Amino acid sequence: MKVRNDLRNIAIIAHVDHGKTTLVDELLKQAGTFQDHEKIDERAMDNNDIEKERGITILAKNTAVNYGDTRINIMDTPGHADFGGEVERIMKMVDGVLLVVDAYEGCMPQTRFVLKKALEQKLKPLVVLNKIDRDMARPEEVVDEVLDLFIELGADDEQLEFPVVYASAINGTASEDPNKQDDNMEVLFNMIIDNVPAPIDNREEPFQFQVTMLDYNEYVGRIGVGRVFRGTIKTGDQAALIKSDGTVKNFRVTKLFGFMGLKRMEIDQAEAGDLIAIAGVEDIMVGDTICPVEHQESLPLLRIDEPTLQMTFLVNNSPFAGREGKYVTSRKIEERLLTQLETDVSLRVDHTDSPDVWTVSGRGELHLSILIENMRREGYELQVSKPEVIIKEIDGVKSEPVERVQIDVPEDYTGNIMESLGERKGELIDMVNKGEGQVRMEFLIPARGLIGYSTEFMAQTKGYGIINHSFDSYKPAHAGQVGGRRQGVLVSMETGKTTPYGMMQLEDRGTLFVEPGTDIYAGMIVGEHNRDNDLTVNITKAKQQTNVRSATKDQTVTMKRPRLLTLEEALEYLNEDEYCEITPESIRLRKKILDKSTREREEKRKKLAKKA
């Protein structure tokens, strides 16, 4: 069988923060991809603002380097399970994977998740133990952990014979010896060329290409990114687009793009094995096949992980609606959600009975919160409900998503963690003492038990704990409520501005979420009650002015610092009867029913209905 020895296609996969994107940076630099005058940012592949701020990769990216006579196409994939849809599609484009594992942390939940995807595709794995320069690095133990994980995930004999390179991506060094480092990454380049299978050279056969990612350019419209599985294509060729439902649309290829470094360059032709982008057809979607008009043959559809979590998105109808946002109407919000569907295959948007309300389903809280954060930065104003897991019926049994949770904590906190996760129907499946007072625990827990848990976890472990989780499977649903918030909230009874005097009167009632001088409205949540019931309060109360001089007038009064919630914390905090109002400038929590007496009547009605 003829192969293209001048080409290798590889994906870099890893758990969050194990150094994939930094490693790609170094490969780009050391292959001489950049000119001397080019200034390169850290984590150059993360080009989205949120990716840069959070240090995570959200969208898969492709790049290429030339090493000697070989071009290496590199796909940088997300490490977070919420973006598993991206990882799964990328596996179709490559012939091997570079599994990056932290030499201290070892295998983590998302290491298992991304490796499972790669092994299912029968790809050749190569292992890079990164951060070998860390004082606490334990390379021999971590290699054993990786081998155990391969065996557990059912790797075949060939996959178990994986080569290992020890590297420090941040220093740009690598070696086959864990105890010393070469001053470059040549050993890694050579390992890729020697071990990753070269693509089959079938350029003489009819053209076949599958779209695995989408891009958009205002000049040429939608662009399909993917791999040429066979044949050759040139700019100007007539081609057929075979949609997932079997319909065929003929079009002319207006532009072809290849990738080199961080640039997308126009090319005249592409051949079997190349990773390219094709422009010329507007309604191209992920999974579609492009082939010659006279030889129509579609590739198997791409299987995408189903959403596990859903939220209600609705037009903002609070008293402050329209004050801060640029796009506030249902038409604008719907257009934005439908635009997101064009590039995000793991997302679902369903209409409801109301034109102002949509059910949006995704792979997890992070997946949905990134969408909401992007919308608010673009000027959208909306409200969302509490996230809920999607219950499926499997063989007539109601089943819910179960997460595999890995927790690293100082051993003093293990009792608290086991108790709190036990209350949330968590099942302890493994517990290992890692030495130096650190314990690693692994649980299986219903996904709804984890909603809102991270804040409680941080409080329980005083910030010393690390929690990671990824989707495991669907299992028969537990009856009744699992997890949820235990505390009630402080709800404003007035519309106005918060006053220091009003806030100080409430300090012993709980934790406040607003600062002095904040605009609030009746029905808005201004803090957490220190009991389990809701309390309606007047936080706009001003101090009575008198002409009598107080003996304590000149004393300085200190107030507790309020707890200002981030978007993720606000979404986790919500209860069923509450909304999160999101604008470009503010994140507010509110009751669905703003009027106090109507809210109390509704609560009484619900209690009576439960008793009946």
Q: Is 552 a domain residue?
A: no
Same domain, 217 and 190: no
Which residues have CB under 8 Å from 365's CB, separation 6+? Answer: 82, 309, 387, 451, 568, 571, 572
Q: Is 610 a domain residue?
A: no
Same domain, 95 and 175: yes
Ranges of residues in the chain with a pLDDT under 70 are: 32-61, 78-86, 216-218, 262, 303-305, 479-480, 483-484, 545-557, 612
Same domain, 68 and 174: yes
Same domain, 265 and 157: no
CB 95 within 8 A of CB 308: no
Same domain, 276 and 156: no
Q: How many domains does the chain have?
A: 3
Alpha-carbon span 119 to 485, nearest angstrom: 39
Positions at the binding site? 17-22, 130-133
Q: What is the CATH number of the domain that holds 418?
A: 3.30.70.240
Q: What is the CATH number of the domain that holds 223?
A: 2.40.30.10
Q: Is 600 a domain residue?
A: no
- Write down which residue in 136, 166, 195 finishes a domain: 195
Residue for token pair 């927790």: 407
Extract the tokens encoding 506.
């409430």
Alpha-carbon span 467 to 54, nearest angstrom: 16
Which residues have CB under 8 Å from 511's CB, separation 6+? Answer: 527, 528, 530, 560, 562, 563
Q: What is the CATH number of the domain that holds 68?
A: 3.40.50.300
Amino acid identity at 19 = G
- Write down which residue in 291, 314, 338 finishes a domain: 291
CA dihedral sign of residues 118, 122, 124, 129: positive
Three-state DSSP class for 97? Answer: strand
Q: Is 324 a domain residue?
A: no
Same domain, 99 and 165: yes
Query: How many residues belong to the chain?
Result: 612
Buried b (16+ CB within 10 A) or exposed e, 22-43: bbbbbbbbbbebeeeeeeeeeb
Q: Which helix (H) or strand (E) holds 394?
A: strand 392-394
- Three-state secondary structure along 282-328? CCCCCCCEEECCCCCCCCCCCCCCCCCEEEEEEECCCCCCCCCCCEC
Same domain, 215 and 113: no
| pLDDT at residue number 85 | 58
| pLDDT at residue number 50 | 55
Same domain, 63 and 152: yes
Q: How far is CA 47 from CA 41, 212, 377, 561, in A?
A: 10, 19, 16, 35
Q: Is 465 a domain residue?
A: yes
Same domain, 166 and 262: no
- Write down which residue in 291, 320, 341 finishes a domain: 291
Same domain, 127 and 184: yes
Q: Is 222 a domain residue?
A: yes
Positions at the binding site for GTP? 17-22, 130-133
Q: Which domain holds residue 439?
A: 392-476
Q: Is 132 a domain residue?
A: yes
Q: How far is CA 128 from CA 94, 186, 220, 298, 536, in A?
A: 17, 13, 39, 36, 56
CA dihedral sign of residues 171, 174, 180, 183: negative
Q: Is 597 a domain residue?
A: no
Alpha-carbon span 473 to 484, nearest angstrom: 21
Three-state DSSP class for 84? Answer: helix
Same domain, 167 and 221: no
Query: What residues are paired with 75 via a beta bridge?
Result: 11, 62
Same domain, 135 and 215: no
| pLDDT at residue number 81 | 53
